[in-house]
Amino acid sequence: MKARVKWVEQASFLGETEGSHAVLMDGAPTVGGRNLGPRPMEMVLLGAGGCTSSDVISILKKSRQAVSDCYVELDAERAEADPKVFTKIHMHFVVTGKDIKPEVVERAIKLSAEKYCSASIMLGKTAAITHDFEVIQL
């Protein structure tokens, strides 16, 4: 995997993937940014959320669950001193569908957390990561 991050101006950077996708990251006004895009650490948190959500959806589909919606809300804390790594991350999954089995959702989240999600497993080296979920039946 390769990526490129190019300084644009002030505290703005353009991240480009080898898959030809681009995202603008920007710093807070307090560090010279203009708040035009997510901060780099926000991107890290979003990456973990995207990685685990992808796993959960894949596992639920393979388990023949009729999922119509799924999202994860992430709440993270960072160290106060540099390096300001994540120290706690809580992931709250909300899965919507017809006849969704909570035990299957719980298993999918556990498999992602312990086996498949490279991003959250990597972040787990510095952060205590917890999970919970709710199922909304249609």
The C-alpha atoms of residue 90 and residue 32 are separated, in whole angstroms, by 30
Contact 36, 24 (CB under 8 A): yes
pLDDT at 62: 98
Give the pLDDT band (50/70/90) at residue 45: very high
pLDDT at 124: 97
The C-alpha atoms of residue 61 and residue 11 are separated, in whole angstroms, by 41
3-state SS class at 113: helix
Query: pLDDT, tens digit, for every residue of 54-113?
Result: 999 999 999 999 999 999 999 999 999 999 999 999 999 999 999 999 999 999 999 999
3-state DSSP percent of the chain in helix, strand and coil, to 5: 35, 40, 25
